[in-house]
Every structure is written in C-alpha cells, then in structure tokens.
A and B are shown apart, each in its own frame.
Chain A
Amino acid sequence: MFFGLFGKDERALPHGKQALDEALGAWREAEAVLPAERLSSGARANIRALARQRASVASDRPLTGLFVPLGRLVAAAGVPALLLAVSFGWFIGGGAADFQGSEASGLSVVSIDARKVNGLAVFDIANGGRIHSVYRGSSAAGLAEADLFTKTQGSFTDTLDGGSGVTYYRID
C-alpha cells in the first residue's frame, strides 16, 4: 500500500535500511563524544545588543516558511471566491440584502434623483428595488391616501400639465 503512496519501496532496499540504521547509530555515537558547538562571546554580545534594538522593517520582516502554509493558501484562495459569491448575490438580489441590512441598522440609504425631461417629471429612486408609494398634490401639507399617484419599484414618470402651479410629491 505504501509503495504506491510514496513511490519508493523502502522494503526493496534491505541493505540500505541496515546501512541507514548503522549510520544513524554511528552518528549518535560520534555526536556524543564531540564537544558541543558554542557561539563566540562576540556573537552573544551582538545578539543581546541587536535584540534590544527596535525591529527595523528591513531586517525584521517575517521569515519565509520552508513549508507552504497550505491552510492559509486555501483560505486566501477562498477570498476571491467569496467576493464573487457576494457580488453575484448582490446582482441576483438587486442589492436588497445590503439595503435591508442598512435599514436594520437605522440608516437610510434611499436617494432620489428628480429631473424634468421634455415636459416630464422623472424620478429615480435608488432604493434597492423596493416598492414605494408616490403621492401627488398641489399642497405640501396633507398629502393623503386620496392623493396616491402610483407605486414604483425604482422610477416613475409624471406628465406635467404645463401650468404655473407647483406640484408636490411624497414618496413613502
């Protein structure tokens, strides 16, 4: 089983196995009789001095790992996918989710663009596509249910009668 997994069959090299075990045993024996390696006093002094210095950007950047941090790579690769998914969701849902979230937090993000085009009053409501009631009347105060003009999901157009009076709109 491990042969297929690892590509090399250790059992095929009995003499090599013995040689490796002997070499490791000899290694330990040799290391035991050799003196321990030590830093020079100058190096120790340098370490103490440098360790107290403020880390500079150039000399104290994070070390590069010998092994690739696979988990972090997978997580990093997931970020673009997540952004795409959120964008797609926004596109499909017409941004409703974001709008509702903002509303829930007590903030209003509705904006209305009103303009006059060729004798028409054109209103664009950036409201995430929700339905709004539009009331129309000749007085700013007291626009009631009776003055309901239309319901809209983003924009509506009204024909102006060309008179000198002022027309008021209320959008709920």
Chain B
Amino acid sequence: MSGRAAKTDESYVAGAVTDPDERVDAELVAAAVKGSDAAMDRLLRRHESAVLRLVRLLGVAPPDREDVAQEIFVRVFRHLGTFKQGRSFRGWLYRITVNAVHDHRHRLSRRARREAPWNETLDDTPDVSAAPADHAVALERRRELGAALSGLSARERAVFVLVEIEGLERREAARSLGITSITVRRHLSRARASLRAILAGSEKKTPGG
C-alpha cells in the first residue's frame, strides 16, 4: 500500500515539524491560507489518495466515498486558517476524515438508508483486476481482513486502521483522534483480539486456505 512508514516521535516534538513531507505541507498550507489556488490544488492532489483510502478503510460504501472525501476537503480548505502551524497536517486531516466519516454514518442512521450499510466490506476496491495475477493470494488475504474489519466497533476500527494500516505511531494516532495514547492502546488491543478471533475462526472454516 502507499501507507507511510512508521514515524519517530521526534517528528512531533513541541510543534517542531522535522518530517520533509510535513514541511512541504506546512508551506503549502501557509500559501493556501494566503489565497494561492496552486497551493490548494497541490494539497488536494497530495492527500486525496490517502483520504479516499481512509474513507474506504473506515467502511464508507463505494457510492458515498467521493462525496465524503469532497466534504472533508471542503472543510479542510475552509478551515485552513485554524490549522496550527508546527502541527502535523496529515494528523489534522486524518482527524477531520475520521470525524466526517462518523458524521456520515450518523446521517445514514438517521435516514435509515438500508441500501448503504455502514460496515462495508472491502472486497470491492480499488480495481483489483489491475493487480498482477501473482498477488492473488495477497488480494484474497486483503479481502478477508477487510471483511474482518467490519466486525470491529467504529472506534476500534479507526484506531486499528490508523496504527496498523496507515502506519501512524500510537502517539500520532492519539493526537489525530483527540484521545490519549492509553485509549489508543486499549482500543488497539481490543481490535487485535477481535480480528485474531475472527481470522482464526475463518481459518478453521477453510483449512489450508
């Protein structure tokens, strides 16, 4: 996946962003706040893939994903002025994404739209046919994990996705979600335990698979 490698804590010490990607983001944010359309466009293109991936991982149904991503970026650009320089833009973006998906879920619940279930499995994305044939096993495993994610609560899922799949440090995930590292650890432990149980169960059902 295009998820990033785990980052050291030093990148997030006291507002001093040392990560080159974060520095580029900070410069683009500063330019976009001053009204640069080019900077806004670069920010959008740099992060649209990650946002769409996260929206998918958090369980938004395929027909709604682009709408949710659109809502996220509109909010991001409207509130760029409130972004605190020195903080992780990616972390801020992830927080908006998680909360926007949560809002989307609530809207669906209110409308009781049965045609777009919340716990969407991930066996439908993205364009699996484009993958080389020798990755068929990996794709099957990926589908299984995606299905297993549907068995997690929204909070467990958000923490697991950010830490285990997106590769965020626990501390970074905690900042993104506005919770403590202890809460992250607790949800992560529960998520892992649930996923292990689900995957172990599916292995028993399909021995050798």
Contact = CB atoms under 8 A, between A and B. Distances in A.
Tell me, yes or no, whether A binds B: yes
Contacts of B56: 37
Given A16-B199, A36-B2, A63 B70 contact: no
Contacts of B178: 65, 67, 69
B15 interface: no
A159 B190 CA distance: 81
A166 to B, nearest CB: 68
Contact of B199 (A20, A29, A36): A20
Given A13-B196, A66-B154, A30 B148 contact: no
Interface in B151-207: 154-155, 158, 164-165, 177-179, 183, 186, 189-190, 192-200, 202-203
Contact of A16 (B101, B158, B196): B196
A26 B128 CA distance: 14
Q: Which bracket fits the contact residues of B?
A: 35 or more
Q: In this complex, which of A9, A13, A22, A51 has the most chain B Cβ atoms within 10 angstroms of its Cβ?
A: A51
B41 interface: yes
Contacts of B40: 48, 51
B37 A64 contact: no
B145 A35 contact: no
Contacts of A67: 155, 177-179, 183
A117 interface: no
Q: Which bracket fits the contact residues of A?
A: 35 or more
B73 interface: yes
A86 interface: no
Interface stretch (A38-46, A73-81, A122-130): A38-46
Q: In this complex, which of B74, B126, B128, B165 has the most chain A Cβ atoms within 10 angstroms of its Cβ?
A: B74
Contacts of B165: 24, 27
Interface in B114-171: 125-128, 130-132, 135, 137-142, 144-145, 148, 154-155, 158, 164-165
Contacts of A69: 178
A162 B146 CA distance: 98
Contact of A26 (B66, B132, B141): B141
A31 to B, nearest CB: 2
Contact of A33 (B66, B135, B197): B135
Contact of A47 (B74, B100, B139, B164): B74
